[in-house]
Amino acid sequence: MASKSEAHPNGIGNKHNQIGKNLHCCAGGTGHGTFDLTKLPKDKRAELMVRGPFFNRSLQDWYVIDDKSIADKPIKGGTIDFVFDPPSPTADTHPLRFDDGELLWGTKLKQNIKTAFTKSKDFKFEVFCDWLPNDDCNISLDDSTTDKWGDPVAKVKVGFHPHDVKVAQYVVDKGVEMMKAMGADDAIGNVWTDPTSNLMAGGLRFGNDPKTSALDANCRVHGTNNLYVTDGSFMPNGGSVTPTFTIYANSFRVADKILQSI
């Protein structure tokens, strides 16, 4: 957008004003189940208390939702990731300082901390589904605000489609049901209604038509010979999964295309 010239009056690759359009964040939600370790058999309690690196297991039973209560025909759903977060004593202890809105001190605070780390275990899940590209989610340059070098700053608009929340709520509810089925004493979940600060993609989606896409099928900027984009910008949607490995795979694919053209 900031590369305007005689050859590219709207900026490189922006002949049809596609640069910055079709931005998308990550729709979905999160939740967790709390297991009372004192109610579990010794072997199950020992398994839950094993400390290790971050890992996850994914479930895609509702990647396609075929349920008349949400839609008359099958629709795309999402992925549920079940995760044990890496040990983070400070973060885990932080919310324990309150009880019914009252700040705790001394013995009561210490007892809360001891109970949280020895008598219960939190099992988390995350839901990922598509943030549908729409005209209210895009990036442009601000006409009135500049950075310290005098260049226009990016202006990000992050409107979402109501369908995103509808699908996310359905899959989050399934996650809560699963936690209860596994024996959690308490299970809750919530949907993200604000854009995530990570897993953003789009803005330079690829396609065959320069009038509706910024990149061609091999991620080369339309109207150029040697300009390629291989980050998450090329993605037309998030795929209802975390996009990291998709970005890796596409980057290797584009690299092969570049090598073939040399």
- pLDDT (average), residues 24-33: 92
Q: What is the pLDDT of residues 185-196, one digit of tens each?
A: 999 999 988 887
Q: Is 189 part of a structural domain of the chain?
A: yes
How many residues does this entry show for the chain? Answer: 262
Q: Is 17 part of a structural domain of the chain?
A: no
Q: Is 247 part of a structural domain of the chain?
A: no
Q: Is 200 part of a structural domain of the chain?
A: no
Q: What is the pLDDT of residues 234-257, one digit of tens each?
A: 999 989 998 899 999 999 999 999
**CA–CA separation, 158 and 32 (whole Å):** 27
Domain interval for residue 98: 27-195
pLDDT band (50, 70, 90) for residue 114: confident
Indicate whether 19 pLDDT > 90: yes
Q: What is the pLDDT of residues 77-110, one digit of tens each?
A: 999 999 887 767 787 788 888 888 889 889 989 9
Q: Is 112 part of a structural domain of the chain?
A: yes
Burial class (CB in 10 A: 0-12, 13-18, 19+), 90: exposed
Indicate whether 225 pLDDT > 80: yes
Residue 82 sits at φ, ψ, to 5 deg, of: -100, 130
Q: Is 20 part of a structural domain of the chain?
A: no
Q: For the chain, give the mean pLDDT.
A: 90
Helices (H), the chain: 42-48, 89-93, 106-118, 162-181, 244-261
Q: What is the pLDDT of residues 40-68, one digit of tens each?
A: 889 988 888 777 666 678 999 999 999 99
- pLDDT (average), residues 111-139: 88
Q: Is 210 part of a structural domain of the chain?
A: no
The number of domains in the chain is: 1
**What are the CA-CA distances from residue 105 to residues 15, 96, 111, 120 (Å)?**
63, 11, 10, 21
Enumerate the β-bridge partners of residue 34: 122, 186
**What are the CA-CA distances from residue 254 to residues 98, 145, 229, 237, 262 (Å)?**
52, 35, 9, 18, 13
Q: Is 74 part of a structural domain of the chain?
A: yes
